[in-house]
Amino acid sequence: MDATALISKLADTARIAARTLSVATGAERSAALLSIADAIDIRSSEILIANEKDMSRGRAAELNPSLLDRLLLTPARVAGIAEGARQVAALEDPLGKTLRQSVLPNGIELQQITVPFGVIGMVYEARPNVTIDAAVILLMSGNAALLRGSSNAADSNLILVTVMRDALATTSISPEVIQLVPSDDRDTVKALLHARGKVDLVIPRGSASLIRMVVDESTVPTIETGAGVCHVFIDEFADLSIALPIIINSKVQRPSVCNAAETLLVHKNIADEFLPVAMAALNEAGVILHCDAASLALANSIPASLATEDNWSTEYGTLEMNVAVVDSVDAASDHIAKYGTQHTEAIVTDNKANAARFIALSDCAAVMVNTSTRFTDGEQMGFGAEIGISNQKLHARGPMGLEAMTTTTWIVTGNGQIRS
Amino acid sequence: MDATALISKLADTARIAARTLSVATGAERSAALLSIADAIDIRSSEILIANEKDMSRGRAAELNPSLLDRLLLTPARVAGIAEGARQVAALEDPLGKTLRQSVLPNGIELQQITVPFGVIGMVYEARPNVTIDAAVILLMSGNAALLRGSSNAADSNLILVTVMRDALATTSISPEVIQLVPSDDRDTVKALLHARGKVDLVIPRGSASLIRMVVDESTVPTIETGAGVCHVFIDEFADLSIALPIIINSKVQRPSVCNAAETLLVHKNIADEFLPVAMAALNEAGVILHCDAASLALANSIPASLATEDNWSTEYGTLEMNVAVVDSVDAASDHIAKYGTQHTEAIVTDNKANAARFIALSDCAAVMVNTSTRFTDGEQMGFGAEIGISNQKLHARGPMGLEAMTTTTWIVTGNGQIRS
């Protein structure tokens, strides 16, 4: 069977099976997730044995250490994955929520409620935990899942999907709601991305290049999760005692992720006082500095170089940071509009009008006021589970939990009204 | 200047001007709409003169009568357009609404608020009223508008945009938030659809072929407005006295629009009693019938033919209707899943469990219970204004009013919290 026919078959099977999710109650979906969590615990050793096969292939292929670390499952990590499924099972049911309700003059009752998408495809890299994390979020939100992971994690993914399907077989939900898309062939990704009408939504999760490939190639609607060139702006009215920890946390705590900051903007009125201290602290933390002329002049003995035009729009993912002096809130916003990626922007200020203006002029998924960019995160925001961070404006923006995996329908109830 | 450079320039100008909308209050945006409405009234004769130029070109080119009718402006129609702008000005401000709010354990305040998209492109046909209708909805929701109408309406669109921009010049909002995209060249549409990063969203409005072209071609996110193969299912527990008017209204009241019904499904237990009556009434109303074998057997002397496989998935837009007998709610849902376009599905029943099951199994923008499919409409639903009916699941589903033209951002307010 060619890839297109295979994906078509998997999607059709998943869609029919998804009806068992459509008519299941939230309690039934929760119970199914708990069955999955228990099965993961009970079959932990099987999972670890399969993962070791992936690991030895990976070591033989000399995959890089960080990729191997993401691929690795340990008893503690497997227990953590099961615990994650239990946490999702404990969340509020996202389906059937009434978002809007009214009675029209003609007596018709109007209700907008949340419903599942139907069939959602996940395209991701060699992280076996995503296989479970994504599947349980999709099941809890009533969606069937087509999981296309990496061939590097093929054995891990196969056992994890088998464990989940075996667990579902003991519930009212069809095991066919979870479909593992073979990863031995790149054609299956392409076919998944072109299964318009068969697959309702594709979510890529992984590197910038994977996400770009999915968004460019897909004719199925996608949610772009993505790059973050995030800024921290220290206003002239900032409390400087909180400004420095916020900058360091935003840049240094985990530089590889999308909500880490890449550029520090400082108001000219406090630059002379604050920048030498801030740049010294960043240097001390191992951060390489790329400065505009004004901030470079304040670097003194701190190692720093003049930023190139490219630096301002680069998502380093490493301990490097751009620094610039700006004249005003508006100038900071201008810089951000020119170089930012509409992910997360932070202002440190005690002036409420300046905070409000920065918010109004920022076009991004999250604006931080007097706190770190690192808080743009589903777990930190209390969502309980996160399937990714949307970097687009349609449907969902910022961290996406269960609710983002639902769409809506209008229920229009009458007693024979017709339109005149 | 080539089309790509032109669109890029228009979009950049619009985005900078959109800042005057970002910082404007709802009252200021309302006032701007009222200025536009007044200007339309005052300059009605200029508008009619320009429209007459389009009309005479259209008559000379022998455009078809229905196209000419949509192109035509009359004093009453111009007054109606101004009145429409006033109605939008009177609606609740869709911006800055708090959708979710919470305080995290670390003291951070989390708020999800509505914000504009930024720059929205409209691609539409020779209907000059859309120029104003779309622009006022976009302005009220804080968005700059790139308007690409049809060359057949070029003179009408030019005067209407001029009137709006002149009116805005007297307000706090920059006239540059409305940009007319030249329509003398197809390249401007292509350039608009490829202005990813410059244009936040493109909405096509018009024929199925226009919409398909936009959705297929665009790399800018789009909202698909669209086709409707809508069904009316008469359950065995239907109140037959309301069933017939609902069927007739759904099919006959305005067959050319997307929320008109194309297929009638009748439960087998009432088919013998109900179908001869229903088919006679449809025939009486001028509807050509395409039947499955079971319903054809009940047609007796009523003209009807055996439906082809193609009939079931055809959006007629005319007085033609498919008829089939089904065994159950689930069988009706199976038929709809196979042939429907996820727009509007109706059930007529007095059995609540059957209605609930039909709702759960229907994957569509609106489900009608005991009422006509024709109510899937922003005006009928009390939205006050409608920019289109979304036939997709991302972002908006069903009729789209002001709220659908907003996206969200998270405002995260702390007092120095950092992530550990």
Enumerate the β-bridge partners of residue B264: B232, B323
Which chain B positions have a beta carbon within 8 Å of A417's beta carbon? 371-372, 375
Q: Residue B123 belongs to what H/E stretch? A: strand B119-124
3-state secondary structure (DSSP) of residue A12: helix
Q: Is the dihedral of CA B246, B247, B253, B254 positive or negative?
A: positive
Average pLDDT, chain B: 95
- The pairing of strands B201-205 and B119-124 is parallel
Q: What is the largest CA-CA distance in chain B?
A: 81
Which chain B positions have a beta carbon within 8 Å of A239's beta carbon? 416
pLDDT grade for B173, boundaries at 50, 70 and 90: very high
Condensed to tens digits (0 to 9), the pLDDT of residues A38-91 reads: 999 999 999 999 999 999 999 999 999 989 999 999 999 999 999 999 999 999
Nearest one of A414, A57, A404, A153 to B348, comparing CA atoms = A414
From CA B41, how far away is CA B382, in angstroms rounded?
A: 25
φ, ψ dihedrals at B148, nearest 5°: -120, 95
What letter does residue A182 receive in the DSSP assignment? P
3-state secondary structure (DSSP) of residue A34: helix
B226 pLDDT higher than 80:
no
CB atoms within 10 A of CB A135: 27
From CA A34, how far away is CA A85, in angstroms rounded?
A: 7
pTM assigned to the model? 0.90
The pLDDT of B104-111, averaged and rounded, is 93
From CA A63, how far away is CA A55, in angstroms rounded?
A: 9
Condensed to tens digits (0 to 9), the pLDDT of residues A120-151 reads: 999 999 999 999 999 999 999 999 999 999 99
B208 pLDDT higher than 90:
no
Of B104, B115, B364, the CB nearest to A409: B364
pLDDT at position A96, please? 93
The pLDDT of B352-361, averaged and rounded, is 94
B60 pLDDT higher than 90:
yes
pLDDT at position B283, please? 97
Which chain A positions have a beta carbon within 8 Å of B14's beta carbon? none
Average pLDDT, chain A: 95
pLDDT at position B22, please? 86
| ipTM value | 0.89
CATH number among 3.40.309.10, 3.30.450.40, 3.40.47.10, 3.20.20.450, domain A230-375:
3.40.309.10
If phi over 0 gives left and psi between -120 and 50 gives alpha, with beta otherwise, what is residue B367? beta
Architecture of the domain whose range is A3-226+398-413? 3-Layer(aba) Sandwich (3.40)
Condensed to tens digits (0 to 9), the pLDDT of residues A355-389 reads: 999 999 999 999 999 999 999 998 888 887 889 89
Residue A333: closest C-alpha in chain B: B19
* B57-92: b (≥16 Cβ within 10 Å) or e: bbeeeebeeebbebbbbeeeebeebbebbbebbebe
pLDDT at position B257, please? 87
What is the amino acid identity at position A88? V
Instruction: Give helix A44-60 / helix A154-168 axis angle, nearest 10°.
Output: 160
Burial environment of residue B143 by CB neighbours within 10 A (0 to 12, 13 to 18, 19 or more): buried
The pLDDT of B221-240, averaged and rounded, is 93
Express as a percent the part of chain B with pLDDT over 90.
Answer: 85
Q: Is A419's CB within 8 Å of B223's CB? A: no
User: Do A383 and B410 meet the contact criterion of CB atoms below 8 Å apart?
Assistant: no
φ, ψ dihedrals at B376, nearest 5°: -75, 90
pLDDT at position A384, please? 79
pLDDT at position B289, please? 98
From CA A266, how far away is CA A258, in angstroms rounded?
A: 22
B367 near A CB under 8 A: yes
Q: Where are the domains of chain A?
A: 3-226+398-413, 230-375
Express as a percent the part of chain A with pLDDT over 90.
Answer: 85
Of B102, B253, B415, the CB nearest to A419: B253
User: Do A271 and A380 meet the contact criterion of CB atoms below 8 Å apart?
Assistant: no
| Window 48-77 of A, Cβ < 8 Å to B | none
pLDDT grade for B37, boundaries at 50, 70 and 90: very high
* B279-306: b (≥16 Cβ within 10 Å) or e: bebbbeeebebbbbebbbebbeebebee
pLDDT at position A291, please? 98
pLDDT at position A22, please? 86
Half-sphere exposure of B55 (CA within 13 A, CB side): 16
pLDDT at position A101, please? 92
Nearest one of B137, B141, B122, B123 to B18, comparing CA atoms = B141
| Window 220-259 of B, Cβ < 8 Å to A | 221, 223, 239, 241-242, 245-246, 248-249, 253
A116 pLDDT higher than 90:
yes
* B200-228: b (≥16 Cβ within 10 Å) or e: bbbbbbbeeebbebbbeebebbbbbbbbb
Place of tokens 């350039």: B191
Provide the token pair at B263. 């297929």
Half-sphere exposure of B245 (CA within 13 A, CB side): 12
Condensed to tens digits (0 to 9), the pLDDT of residues B63-99 reads: 999 899 999 999 999 999 999 999 999 999 999 999 9
Helix then strand then coil, in percent of chain A rounded to 5, is: 45, 20, 35
Condensed to tens digits (0 to 9), the pLDDT of residues A275-333 reads: 999 999 999 999 999 999 999 999 989 999 999 999 999 999 899 999 999 999 999 99
B35 pLDDT higher than 80:
yes
3-state secondary structure (DSSP) of residue A1: coil
From CA A159, how far away is CA A167, in angstroms rounded?
A: 12
Task: Name which of A92, A100, A108, A250 to mutate to probe chain B: the one with the most chain B Cβ atoms within 10 A of its Cβ.
Answer: A108
User: Do B89 and B37 meet the contact criterion of CB atoms below 8 Å apart?
Assistant: yes
Which chain B positions have a beta carbon within 8 Å of A93's beta carbon? none
The pLDDT of A110-119, averaged and rounded, is 94
From CA B372, how far away is CA B368, in angstroms rounded?
A: 7
Q: Is A371's CB within 8 Å of B108's CB? A: yes
| Window 111-130 of B, Cβ < 8 Å to A | 115, 117-118
End-to-end CA distance of chain A: 53
Condensed to tens digits (0 to 9), the pLDDT of residues B379-409 reads: 888 887 889 899 899 988 999 999 899 999 9
A362 near B CB under 8 A: yes
CB atoms within 10 A of CB B375: 26
Half-sphere exposure of B70 (CA within 13 A, CB side): 16
What is the amino acid identity at position B313? S
pLDDT at position B216, please? 84
pLDDT at position A364, please? 94
pLDDT at position B124, please? 94
The torsion of the CA quartet A125, A131, A137, A140, rounded to 10 degrees, works out to 150
Q: Is B221's CB within 8 Å of A407's CB? A: no
The pLDDT of B206-227, averaged and rounded, is 86
pLDDT at position B385, please? 81
Burial environment of residue A309 by CB neighbours within 10 A (0 to 12, 13 to 18, 19 or more): exposed
φ, ψ dihedrals at B27, nearest 5°: -65, -40
B108-122, B145-159, B208-222: range with lowest mean pLDDT: B208-222
B256 pLDDT higher than 90:
no
Of A200, A245, A417, the CB nearest to B416: A245
A407 near B CB under 8 A: yes
From CA A93, how far away is CA A401, in angstroms rounded?
A: 12
From CA B150, how far away is CA B58, in angstroms rounded?
A: 12
Express as a percent the part of chain A with pLDDT over 70.
Answer: 100
From residue B413, alpha-carbon distances to A343, A384, A400, B8, B167 in Å are: 16, 20, 19, 35, 38
Residue B117: closest C-alpha in chain A: A393
Which chain B positions have a beta carbon within 8 Å of A336's beta carbon? none
Give the ranges where A233-371 is alpha helix by DSSP (H).
Answer: 240-252, 268-284, 293-296, 329-339, 352-361
